[in-house]
Amino acid sequence: MILAETTPLSHQLAAWLAGLLGMQPNWLFSAVGALVVATVILLLVVTPVGLGGVYLERKLAGRMQNRRGPNRVGPYGLLQSLADGVKLLAKEDILQRGVDSMLFRFAPYIVFMAAFAGFVVLPFAPGVIAADLDVGLFYFLALIALETVGIVMAGWSSNNKWSLLGAMREVAQVVSYELPLGLAAMCPALAAGSLSLVAITDYQAGPVWNWLIFRHGYWAIAMVPAFLLFYTAGLAAAKRAPFDLPEAESELTAGFHTEYSGMRFGMFFLPEYAMMLSLSAVASVLFLGGYHDPLGLSAPGGAFEGAWGWGLLWFFLKTTFLFLSQIALRWTLPRIRIDQVMYLCYKVLLPIGMGSLVLSALLRLIR
């Protein structure tokens, strides 16, 4: 049910480029178009949003703790993240004696890339998507596992036992939480009958009761647990408190990035926010209707059908809400112990995930 207006931006760009050169659009143009859109999204949307995420986290943390948060750089401290970025850039890039130099240098790039590559498949608005993959959801889940590789590299190459322990925790945690995360993500995919994030979004077009989380009321019995599951497992996959064990400050000093400094540290720091954002975005796509508004104005036949600005607004509202709730949780809860993380994954989340998957399948059959 892809509308004419929602042809991905990259295809429109490819067609436009081909027209400019007087050639037939072929795969090369599509590739260039996808690349351009991805880069533009990354530069114009994601980096400011990532920096904004850092600002928001610090400001909100401050206010939740009866403090002010950043308020010195720029109005309301808005430029604080930028100043931090400049500071990180200006810092000395320390390479300790004894580190595995190649792995040590390379690890931040993998983490950075893996975290930001997830944005490629996110449908920000009707038509605003870098690549509408048929297996978008699968691709996204695979990238989370890729990030782990970078972190293990960092932990191993640092030649520091705290880093190693942090990396080991990361592997144990993320690999385990991939399971409930995958199970939770399969419920909406099953309902919508597609792994494409655009298809899942458009399946939820219409008023609020079309959203998968409470679709027609009865879907809620499968989808509410699945949503909570996705949210919790997402926190764990993004290494957010209370699951921030790989970098547990009070236990492992700084975990896998203990030995990193300067911009290399920044390249571990920013992806955390990118991960949070992309997970919030995917959660809102899977369960909260993505770029569709609650009144159904963007549904086929609605007043704002295919309007990308309207879609973008709702997409960001939903994502930001989930993002803020992740921040609020972080500054409320203590940290879980490593064996309890495993307990939670295998004995709590996994059974719930299986249950909701079976329920979704049944509901799909009945309907």
Among 25, 62, 74, 207, interactor with another protein by CB under 8 A = 62
The answer to whether 337 contacts another protein (rule: CB under 8 A) is yes
The answer to whether 161 contacts another protein (rule: CB under 8 A) is yes
Q: Which stretch binds another protein (CB under 8 A): 28-36, 90-98, 141-149, 241-249?
A: 241-249
Among 229, 274, 277, 336, interactor with another protein by CB under 8 A = 336
* Tokens describing residue 146: 């890729």
Nearer to another protein, 39 or 340 (CB): 340
Considering CB under 8 A, how many residues would be counted as binding another protein?
Answer: 37
Nearest CA to 353 among 184, 161, 214? 184
Nearer to another protein, 61 or 263 (CB): 61
Q: How far apart are CA 76 and CA 74, in angstroms?
A: 6
**Residue pair 141/182 in contact by the 8 Å Cβ criterion:** yes
Q: What contacts 116, CB < 8 A, 6 or more positions away?
A: 42, 46, 271, 274
Q: Which stretch binds another protein (CB under 8 A): 79-87, 277-285, 308-316, 336-344?
A: 336-344
Q: Which stretch binds another protein (CB under 8 A): 2-10, 121-129, 137-145, 340-348?
A: 340-348
Cβ–Cβ contacts within 10 Å for residue 297, how many? 17
Q: Which stretch binds another protein (CB under 8 A): 82-90, 108-116, 138-146, 248-256?
A: 248-256
Among 16, 23, 26, 68, interactor with another protein by CB under 8 A = 68
Q: What contacts 226, CB < 8 A, 6 or more positions away?
A: 183, 184, 187, 188, 287, 353, 356, 357, 360
| DSSP-derived 3-state class of residue 268 | helix
How far from chain centre, in Å, is Cα 214?
22
Task: Name the residues that contact another protein, by CB under 8 A.
Answer: 60-68, 71, 161-162, 165, 168, 241-242, 244, 248-253, 328-329, 331-340, 347-348
